Structure 1
C-alpha cells in the first residue's frame, strides 16, 4: 500500500496521511498492516472530495504539491477518493524472529515442516528451498531478475518471498532481498544434515 519512502516517513512521523481512489473502501479504522518500516496503523478513513485536498494535506502525505497527490490517484475517475490517517505502530514483529540465528533442533525441524507445507500448497512444486538458495547466492538482486532465473512471473516470486519473510527467513532490501540471520542459519544447519 505504501512506497518505502512513505512508509519510512510514517515511521518518522513526517507522513500522517495517504489518499487513495477506490471503488469501495479497502481499509478500516483500527486496522494495521506491515510495511518495510514496520507496523502501520490506520487511524481514520474518510471519503472526501479530492478538490478539498490542501497543500498541508499534500505535505502530510509526503508530496510536494496537491497536484502530485491528485496525479498519484489510481482507479476510475468516478471512483471515490479516501483520506486515510496513518501512524506508526512499532517495528515489524517478524524482525525479531528474523534476527534469531540461534536455532534449536526443534526450530530447524519446524522451519522445514513449514517450508514443506508451502511447497505442497503451491502450484509449481517444491520452490521454497531453491528460492532461499537463489537469494543466498544473489543478495540485492532485483525481483525481476530472480524471477527470470526461476522461470516465473515477477509477482509470483514476490508473493512467494513474502511467504518466506513471514517465516522470518528473508529480508527486503532497497533493491532485492537477502537471507535473514535466521534464514542463513537454517540453510547452514540443513547443509550439515541429510535430506531436503
Structure 2
C-alpha cells in the first residue's frame, strides 16, 4: 500500500487516521504493519464503502482538502470497490534500534551464518561480504555506480542490499548507503584489525523523502543534517538548484519532529 510522504507525516502526528483506495480486492488486512519512512504504520480497520456515502469528516481524517477532492480522487477505476482503511502510527522502525546495536562475538557468528546462507542461496555466488565491503569503502555513492563496480544490474543489487538492511547491517540514504554500526562491527570482525573510517556525522540525517536533487544540493554546501538545515531560511533553500517546494516542506516536517525550524520561522 503506497502512502505519500506528507500523509505518512500526518499519520505519525495523529492528524490523519484514514485512507481510501480503489482495489479489486483488499491488499491489506487488519493488523498489517508497514515499514515506512516515518516508522511503522498499522492497519486498524478495513471496510468496503460507497463513495456517495462519504462525508466531510472522512475527507478531513484522510487529509483530503475537501470531500469533493476525496471523491474526485476515487473517481478513477469505478469498476473496483472503494475501501476505507484505518491507519495508526505504531512506533519507530525496529531496524533503527537494530542498526545501532553493536553485536558481541556470539551475535557476529550468528550473523555470519545468516550471510553464508544468503550466499549459498544465490544463483551468482557469494555476494554478502563483497557488498558490505563495497558500501563500507564507498559511503553515500549511488546504487548504479556501486552495482557497476561489481558488474551487476542495479535492480538486483538494490534487492540484495535490502536483505542486508533487514539484518540491520546497512542504512539507506536519499543517495547511496552507509554501513550501520552493526554492519561495521561485522565487517571489522573479518579483518586483521578494525578499518579506519571517517567519523559518523553527528546530528539527525536529512530525510530520504526530500529526494536526490535536494540532497545533492545540500551536500554541495556541506549540509548533511537537519540541525545544519535549521541555520537556513526557506528563501536560502529555495535559491539552491534542486531544492523545490516539496523538499522544503519535507525538511520543515523533519525539523518540527526534532523541535527545530528554519531560520525566521
Instruction: Flag whether TM exceeds 0.5 (same fold).
Output: yes
How many residues align structurally?
A: 190
More strand by share: 1
Residue equivalent to 2:89: 88
Q: Please tell me whether residue 191 in structure 1 is matched to residue 191 in structure 2.
A: yes
Residue equivalent to 2:128: 128
In structure 1, C-alpha distance between the alignment counterparts of 2:63 and 2:140, rounded to whole Å: 26
In structure 2, C-alpha distance between the alignment counterparts of 1:73 and 1:152, rounded to whole Å: 38
- TM-score after normalising by structure 2: 0.60
Mark the structure with the bigger radius of gyration.
Answer: 2
SS of structure 2 residue aligned to 1:90: coil
Change in 2 beyond 3 A, CA 1:134/1:51: farther
Indicate if the aligned counterparts of 1:17 and 1:61 stay in contact, CA closer than 8 A: yes
Residue equivalent to 2:14: 13
Gaps of 5+ in 2: 194-265
> How far did residue 138 of structure 1 move?
3.3
115-124 or 3-12, larger mean C-alpha shift:
3-12
Residue equivalent to 2:44: 43
Residue equivalent to 1:137: 137
Gaps of 5+ in 1: none
Change in 2 beyond 3 A, CA 1:17/1:100: same
> How far did residue 50 of structure 1 move?
4.2
Change in 2 beyond 3 A, CA 1:131/1:25: same
RMSD over aligned Cα, in angstroms? Answer: 3.0
Residue equivalent to 1:97: 98
Q: Which has the higher contact order (CA 8 A, sep 6+)?
A: 1
In structure 2, C-alpha distance between the alignment counterparts of 1:149 and 1:5, rounded to whole Å: 35
Indicate if the aligned counterparts of 2:143 and 2:154 stay in contact, CA closer than 8 A: no
- TM-score after normalising by structure 1: 0.78
> How far did residue 183 of structure 1 move?
0.7
Residue equivalent to 1:78: 79
In structure 2, C-alpha distance between the alignment counterparts of 1:149 and 1:64, rounded to whole Å: 47
SS of structure 2 residue aligned to 1:107: helix
